[in-house]
Amino acid sequence: MMLMTNKMVRRAFAALMYLLMSSLAKVEAMMRRRRQRQSENDNNDGYCLSWRLGVEANNVRSWRTVPLECYNHVQQYMTGGQYLQDMNLIVNQIVAYAFQITLSPDSMDAWILDVDDTCISNLSYYQGHRFGCDPFDSAKFKAWIMKGMCPANPAVLQLFKTLRERGFKVFLLTGRDQATLGKITTDNLHNQGFIGYERLILRTAEYKGQSAVRYKSAIRKEIEGQGYRIWGNVGDQWSDLQGECLGTRTFKLPNPMYFIS
């Protein structure tokens, strides 16, 4: 009887040790996979930080979609607070510059603001399209615009109000189509607090098919031809800030979600 009991104890102990060793092996494998994933995430995050810097510095050009491995990085940047912090810092720099300018009594001191993802935000649209990882769909984007639900970028709305209070004539310049999107854009801007600008300029048939650089250069040249002095030019795309008649200073706002040439 004692011998059988000893055998049963030994078997139970062996079974317990087997289960313990198996559990330890599973935990070790799980920790190894977790360390591997963390290492991959760290590598991706480092790459995506560099990629985003390259985009904002205009060293990475003509890209069509955000790299898939940067989805989490761009999502965190756009929604985690850093994007808003960057916007606020840049707008503070713009305001500081604006207050250094002595305006002329002829009321011809001007400022140019882009519209999409400058004055108003398309972040809600891009949240549903993996923050730019999905290929751009012009029909879906137009349907989004037609809702007239683009919220104001708070920092830029405050900038707009400050510029007007200072006495600048503010021109809103966008590549949106005048014929199909003119009214909805006007209403959207008005509903979000952009009231009292000098002029909202949308793309007419005359400029259809032209690059953003060529189109916006032509409009700025026209504004200067009317006697205005462009002191500042603000946009989220480098194509807002390239070409002719750029103004005394340009200011690039962050946007790692898409690229317009």
Residue 140, domain CATH: 3.40.50.1000
Query: What are the DSSP E strand ranges found in 73-182?
Result: 109-114, 169-177
Across 92-108, average pLDDT = 98
As a whole number of angstroms, the distance between CA 217 and CA 196 comes to 23
Reference 261, options 223, 216, 206; nearest CA is 216
Query: What are the DSSP E strand ranges found in the chain?
Result: 109-114, 169-177, 199-203, 229-235, 249-252
Residue at 11 is within a domain: no
Which has more confidence, 147 or 1? Answer: 147
Residue at 260 is within a domain: no
Q: What are phi and psi of 90, to 5 degrees?
A: -65, -45
For the stretch 42-91, pLDDT in tens is 568 999 999 999 999 999 999 999 999 999 999 999 999 999 999 999 99
Taking the CB of residue 177, how many other CB atoms lie within 10 A of it? 17
Residue at 140 is within a domain: yes
Domain range spanning residue 65? 61-252
Residue at 31 is within a domain: no
As a whole number of angstroms, the distance between CA 47 and CA 206 comes to 42
At 39, is the pLDDT very low, low, confident or very high (cuts 50, 70, 90)? very low
Residue type, 188: N
Residue at 12 is within a domain: no
- Could you tell me what percent of the chain has a pLDDT over 90? 83
Write the Ramachandran bin of 30: left for phi over 0, alpha for psi from -120 to 50, otherwise beta.
alpha
Residue type, 240: D
Burial (CB < 10 A; 0-12, 13-18, 19+), residue 108, is: middle
At 179, is the pLDDT very low, low, confident or very high (cuts 50, 70, 90)? very high
Q: Is the pLDDT of residue 212 over 70?
A: yes
Residue at 4 is within a domain: no
As a whole number of angstroms, the distance between CA 200 and CA 171 comes to 6
Q: Is the pLDDT of residue 220 over 90?
A: yes
Which residues contact residue 195 at a Cβ distance below 8 angstroms, ignoring those fewer than 6 apart? none
Residue at 56 is within a domain: no
Taking the CB of residue 110, how many other CB atoms lie within 10 A of it? 24
Task: Provide the domain count of the chain.
Answer: 1
Taking the CB of residue 198, how many other CB atoms lie within 10 A of it? 17
Residue at 158 is within a domain: yes
Enumerate the β-bridge partners of residue 169.
110
